[in-house]
Amino acid sequence: MIIRDSRQEELAFIREMRLQAYEEHAPKIPEAHWNTLKQSILSDADSKPGIERMVAEIDGEIVGSVALFAPDKQVYAGMLDEELDYPELRMLAISSKARGKGVATALINECIKRSKEKGFKEMGLHTADFMENAIKLYTHLGFERLPQFDFEPANDGIIVKAFRIKF
């Protein structure tokens, strides 16, 4: 497995793979929430300066991706009372055929490594209960809950929960 920066010409493919990875959650949540999430997944929010995009390749095929947002990117502008002062892992997506092969862990570890190299002592992420496997993985890797940074983006009862890992 190779973890590397994504290339500009791969962005359309990455967003489509990301959408396919997240579509399994659509039946678990209200349609309006899914539509908002889908819009976020397909947006160009990850192509702005200061955001690192990484992919995982197996045998020359992209099988996973993630974005690492610098703290000054105001990832959740208007949703949080205060801005985060550490990098935020976002949009982690693994193709269905590559699940269970350590791809997600490798991408998360790369984000941790890059955050450490920039002098940060912690890294965060946000997810929701309907992403059960992701939450299990994050807690297994040592991420802790930060309920003070939770938010409810669509006023539909779905809480986007904050997690952070210190290193």
User: Which residue ranges in the chain fall short of pLDDT 50?
Assistant: none
Domain of residue 162, CATH code: 3.40.630.30
The parent domain of residue 33 ranges over: 2-166
* Region label for 91, one of left (φ > 0), alpha (ψ between -120 and 50) or beta (otherwise): left
Going by C-beta distance under 8 Å and a sequence separation of 6 or more, which residues neighbour residue 155?
Answer: none
Concatenated DSSP letters of 68-123 = EE-GGG-TTTTTSSS--SS-EEEEEEE-GGGTTTTHHHHHHHHHHHHHHHTT-SEE
> Residue 54: its pLDDT value, please?
98
Identity of the residue numbered 51: I
Number of domains in the chain: 1
> Residue 108: its pLDDT value, please?
98
